């Protein structure tokens, strides 16, 4: 279960990270319905892309480790990331009125990945003890 989870998260984060590195304004428009229209926001978008790329690489490397040390570390970290991502994007849509084509699908994806991570933590904890 964790192997598939890590491979799925790796694919999502690597693709999103690469997109933000290459075209942060385009990704922001798809997600939030608003461009990153200053050079500072473009830089922040690219730094976020680099971070997502790094998370994707960590997930990819952890996929072969499963319940071993990497899996036990990466899964809770990705639970926090996906839970926070779902919450922040929900706030952006519900309270800030930002809404791009991919906003709500991204909320659902982050929430689903957070639930999957949480479900994967129980077997990881049992295998560890």
Calpha distance 127→96 (Å, rounded): 43
**CB contact at 8 A, 68 and 127:** no
Check the CA dihedral 40-44-49-50 and report its sign: positive
Per-chain mean pLDDT for the chain: 92
pLDDT for position 127: 55
Range 43-67 average pLDDT = 92
pLDDT band at 70; cut points 50, 70, 90: confident
Calpha distance 64→86 (Å, rounded): 26
Residue 123 has pLDDT above 80, yes or no: no
Global pTM reads 0.89
Backbone angles phi, psi at 10, to 5 degrees: -60, -45
pLDDT band at 128; cut points 50, 70, 90: low
Calpha distance 74→67 (Å, rounded): 10
pLDDT for position 121: 87
């Amino acid at each position: 279960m964790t192997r598939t989870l890590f491979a799925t998260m790796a694919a999502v984060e690597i693709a999103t990270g690469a997109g933000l590195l290459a075209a942060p304004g385009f990704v922001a428009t798809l997600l939030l319905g608003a461009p990153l229209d200053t050079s500072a926001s473009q830089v922040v978008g690219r730094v976020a892309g680099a971070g997502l790329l790094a998370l994707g690489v960590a997930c990819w490397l952890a996929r072969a480790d499963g319940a071993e040390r990497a899996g036990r570390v990466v899964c809770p970290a990705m639970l926090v990331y996906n839970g926070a991502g779902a919450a922040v994007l929900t706030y952006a849509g519900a309270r800030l009125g930002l809404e791009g084509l991919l906003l709500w699908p991204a909320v659902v994806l982050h929430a689903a990945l957070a639930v999957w991570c949480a479900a994967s933590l129980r077997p990881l904890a049992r295998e560890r003890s």
